[in-house]
């Protein structure tokens, strides 16, 4: 696609469809190679995790983050764990850890507020009124987009509403929105309300795809087949980039192409994909997308989110939700109440940027300036591959190394192209006893009752020792649960 005159060049075209060359066989080869180098023959030996961590070229990234100690987490039993030891924090899929630099950036703007007051809006290295624009280049790199295709604004669900208000234009023949049945509740609620606001019924216009009977995840071919057969009725295909419950990474490029072949608009909720896996939204020809930043983006709970609108809509003036920040800066302060709509994604902003949230984003982007998401992606694959190996070896139903009645299956796809940092573990018994025992021992993971725990070794700050310690605690807890059964 040619660049429009005067615009920045497109981000680099991806060589692969979804940047990952890893397989579980390669992980096993790697583990065996490192075992040979270390002289540690048992791949489940905790000493191997120490050796792997010490040998990791990206191990220093962890030092850029505040990593919680076990004793600072609530409900930890200090008779069971050293309160001064690192916790086992594998919950970055819910909230990423705090970069140390964020406090410095935040303090700069707090000091500026204290010393300058209102003049901070338009002065300084990062004027508050323009602060969101200072994030666009870094955020654009993380999602594979041009600066004019992204905005940093609002929260995730607000941005979903902003985008659907603009792009969901149902007609009598094309009015359906297609999503997955287990999309995050916010997506369901937003889509339901948008359908009703446009005068249609949820029963008629909301289509939720279910996995095949007996399967946990959707097959790409089934999604594409449904679009090909029913696309003439679908106004918008709106999927999660990564499914929050199963951890499945959808084939964004293939699904977007399938939707476009049938004349559908295709949007994405990238809450669990942003800063987790490499994205190429511009080249994948995605129409629009939204994401939060506080998971793998590490910007703090509920912090500022973002949206993407493809450059083909750069001069598009479709009706949308508007506010002062939808207006071009060059004439914004004329205050004549005659809208001069900003172009591209900037025209989907509503309010001025909250500087304390933007400061957290600026802090996070300083981390991503130091390491590429492609290198982090490779590290992520080996971390999850190691976790997968340990779970299958020590808790798999057919494993001869299993020492407990408790068995665990992994509902996240085995194919590395179909997952990011998260593995969702499905337990053979309810986790209502298992989870509290993990928490007592300084483990932070996410529970989904009745029997799923979502574990995310995050590529930025987790390591092989974290993964092996989690497995050790899980073994301990499994025996306790059995003894009290």
Q: What is the DSSP string of 212-235?
A: PTT-SS--HHHHHHHHHHHGGGEE
Q: Does the pLDDT of residue 5 top 50, yes or no?
A: no
* 269 assigned binding-site residue: yes
Record the pTM: 0.95
pLDDT of the residue at 53? 98
* 472 assigned binding-site residue: no
* 352 assigned binding-site residue: yes
CA dist., res. 290 & res. 322, Å (int):
17
Q: What percent of the chain has pLDDT over 90?
A: 92
User: For the chain, what is the mean pLDDT?
Assistant: 95
Residue 139 near residue 303 (C-beta atoms within 8 A):
no
Mean pLDDT, to the nearest integer, of 20-42?
Answer: 93
**Pick among 3.20.20.100, 3.40.640.10, 3.40.50.1100, 3.30.465.10: CATH of 104-368:** 3.40.640.10
Whether domain 24-86+372-483 has CATH 3.40.640.10:
no
* 327 assigned binding-site residue: no
* 51 assigned binding-site residue: no
| 104-368 and 24-86+372-483 share a CATH fold | no
Mean pLDDT, to the nearest integer, of 62-74?
Answer: 98
Q: Does the pLDDT of residue 447 top 70, yes or no?
A: yes
pLDDT of the residue at 485? 64
* 395 assigned binding-site residue: no
249: enclosing H helix or E strand: none
* 187 assigned binding-site residue: yes
Longest CA–CA separation in the chain, Å? 76
* 157 assigned binding-site residue: yes
* 272 assigned binding-site residue: yes
Residue 143 near residue 307 (C-beta atoms within 8 A):
no
The domain limits of the chain are 24-86+372-483, 104-368
């Amino acid at each position: 696609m040619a660049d429009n005159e005067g615009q920045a060049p497109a981000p680099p075209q991806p060589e692969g469809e979804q940047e990952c060359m890893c397989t579980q066989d390669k992980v096993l080869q790697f583990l065996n190679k490192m075992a040979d180098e270390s002289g540690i023959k048992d791949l489940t030996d905790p000493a191997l995790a120490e050796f792997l961590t010490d040998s990791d070229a990206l191990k220093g990234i962890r030092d850029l983050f505040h990593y919680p100690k076990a004793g600072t987490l609530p409900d930890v039993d200090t008779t069971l764990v050293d309160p001064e030891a690192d916790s086992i924090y594998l919950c970055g899929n819910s909230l990423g850890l705090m970069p140390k630099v964020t406090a410095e950036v935040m303090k700069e703007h707090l000091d500026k507020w204290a010393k300058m007051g209102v003049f901070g809006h338009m002065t300084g290295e990062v004027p508050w009124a323009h602060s969101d624009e200072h994030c666009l280049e870094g955020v654009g790199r993380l999602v594979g987009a041009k600066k004019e295709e992204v905005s940093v604004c609002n929260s995730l669900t607000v941005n979903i509403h902003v985008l659907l208000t603009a792009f969901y234009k149902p007609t009598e023949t094309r009015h359906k929105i297609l999503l997955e049945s287990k999309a995050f509740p916010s997506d369901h609620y937003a889509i339901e309300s948008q359908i009703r606001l446009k005068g249609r019924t949820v029963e008629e216009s909301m289509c939720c795809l279910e996995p095949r009977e007996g399967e946990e995840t959707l097959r790409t071919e089934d999604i594409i087949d449904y679009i090909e057969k029913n696309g003439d009725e679908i106004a918008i295909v709106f999927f999660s980039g990564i499914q929050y419950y199963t951890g499945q990474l959808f084939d964004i490029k293939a699904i977007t192409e399938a939707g476009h072949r049938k004349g559908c608009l295709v949007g994405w909720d990238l809450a669990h994909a942003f800063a987790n896996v490499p994205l190429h939204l511009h080249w994948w020809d995605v129409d629009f997308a939204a994401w939060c930043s506080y998971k793998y983006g590490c910007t703090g709970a509920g912090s500022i989110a973002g949206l993407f609108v493809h450059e083909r809509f750069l001069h598009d003036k479709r009706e949308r939700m508007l506010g002062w920040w939808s207006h071009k800066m060059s004439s914004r302060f004329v205050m004549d109440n005659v809208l001069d709509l900003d172009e591209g994604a900037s025209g989907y902003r509503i309010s001025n940027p909250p500087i304390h949230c933007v400061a957290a984003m600026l802090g996070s982007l300083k981390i991503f300036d130091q390491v590429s998401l492609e290198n982090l992606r490779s590290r992520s694959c080996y971390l999850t591959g190691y976790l997968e190996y340990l779970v299958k070896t020590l808790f798999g139903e057919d494993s001869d190394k299993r020492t407990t009645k408790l068995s665990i299956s992994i509902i996240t796809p085995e194919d590395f192209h179909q997952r990011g940092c998260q593995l969702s573990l499905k337990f053979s018994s309810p986790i209502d006893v298992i989870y509290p025992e993990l928490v007592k021992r300084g483990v932070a993971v996410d529970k989904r009752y009745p029997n799923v725990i979502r574990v995310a070794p995050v590529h930025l700050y987790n390591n092989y020792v974290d993964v092996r310690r989690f497995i050790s605690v899980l073994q301990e807890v499994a025996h306790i649960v059995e003894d009290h059964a």
